[in-house]
Structure 1
Amino acid sequence: MKIPRIAYAAYGFALFVIILDQLTKAWIMGGLDLRELGHIQVLSPLFNLTWVENRGVSFGLFGDGSGRWALSAFSIAVAGVLGWWALKADRRLLITAIGLVMGGALGNVIDRIRFGYVVDFLDFSGPHFFLGSMKINFPWIFNVADSAICIGVVLLILDSVKAEQEAKVGLAAEKS
């Protein structure tokens, strides 16, 4: 089976995310030794580096630690489906989204297999504001792979909306 040229872009995005994710984690673990320090103030309270061993999925969800291998297998399966989807995709936004989600999923799988947890360290949890009496903040600590997954999902939604609008325009043009 010949791989369409555009699919290589998705695989390239995925590889870029995996490399960036693993390099930042190597720097956090080795160069900064954040594991020992636990917390480094960078632009406090807006942004800090905080060591977290995430045994769940993105942003610590489902973090009871019991599903290391199940989460790894699921993530690999998702990446496989996305890799297959990239072979069929023909829109740049979709290809970008697929690559980001695929790379993020595999970046976290590498940690889960190596360590039994995913290394999270980007901490934007300090700033908060009030909407009336309700406190609004971002309580999660995350990593590059988590960011890629979230951005990729947003791009998937945008691509879906855009494709639907283009289909409606095309259908309207056929009728006239």
Structure 2
Amino acid sequence: MLKLKKLWGAHSPVVAKLAIIGLIIDQAIKIWLVHAYNMAENAPISLAPFLDIVLVWNKGVSYGLFQQDSAFGQWALVGFTILASIAIWVWSAKSDNRFEAWCLGIILGGALGNGVDRAVYGQVVDYIHFHVGNFSWYVFNAADVWIVLGAAGLIFESLIIGKTKKT
């Protein structure tokens, strides 16, 4: 039996808050775009010459990798998201580093946001499209931003902050 200490740590309250806030922001934007604005039937929104809001359904993971057209594949990604979320939570509960825990909370919010999409729609709602001239960046969402920011923070902590603590 897992000890409660392994599932709840000093930073667990802030990790939970960050994950919930990230999930709520992500889902609020997606619900508005899909249901209120009805993005599937309305024109893309141009926010700047290099930035549009468009609707793209992603049946895979980051960068459209591992596209899943079958129900089994889609639910396998939901299962993977659940396992990854549990692993992130356990890691954060064991962490004695506040910055690391915050980064994990941000990542968890993004994972949960995309996981909800997979469970509800069978695919992820992507909508942010950066482009310049003929260059077009992949379409992503707020949950992806949370995951990238959290991962960048973990890398920064590992390479920069971690080294200054050891010296």
Short-chain TM bin? 0.7 to 0.9
Cα distance in 2, alignment partners of residues 64 and 30 from structure 1:
24
**1:105 aligned to which of 102, 105, 111:** 111
Cα distance in 2, alignment partners of residues 111 and 23 from structure 1:
12
Contact 1:38 1:51 in 2 (8 A): no
> Is 1:31 equivalent to 2:29 in the alignment?
no
TM-score by length of 1: 0.83
Aligned with 1:141: secondary structure?
coil
Measured on the aligned residues, the alpha-carbon RMSD in Å equals 1.8
Q: CA deviation at 1:87?
A: 1.0
- What fraction of aligned residue pairs are identical, expressed as a percent? 33
> Is 1:90 equivalent to 2:113 in the alignment?
no
Contact 2:9 2:95 in 1 (8 A): no
Contact 1:7 1:87 in 2 (8 A): yes
Q: CA deviation at 1:163?
A: 5.0
Larger Rg: 1
AA aligned opposite 2:56: V
Match of 1:145 in 2: 143
Q: CA deviation at 1:153?
A: 0.8
Cα distance in 2, alignment partners of residues 54 and 25 from structure 1:
13
> Is 1:62 equivalent to 2:60 in the alignment?
no
Aligned with 1:95: secondary structure?
helix
Match of 1:123 in 2: 129
Match of 2:18 in 1: 13
Quick one: structure 1 residues 65 and 100, their matched pair in 2 at CA, closer, same or farther if it must change by over 3 Å?
A: farther
TM-score by length of 2: 0.87
Match of 2:81 in 1: 75
Quick one: structure 1 residues 64 and 4, their matched pair in 2 at CA, closer, same or farther if it must change by over 3 Å?
A: closer
Can you list the C-alpha shifts for 1:112-168, whole angstroms capped at 9, x where unaligned? 0111110111111x215xxxxxx7x45211111111111111111111123541453
Contact 1:35 1:51 in 2 (8 A): yes
Cα distance in 2, alignment partners of residues 41 and 50 from structure 1:
9
AA aligned opposite 1:12: K
Contact 1:59 1:146 in 2 (8 A): no
In the alignment of these two chains, the number of paired residues is 160
> Is 1:52 equivalent to 2:50 in the alignment?
no
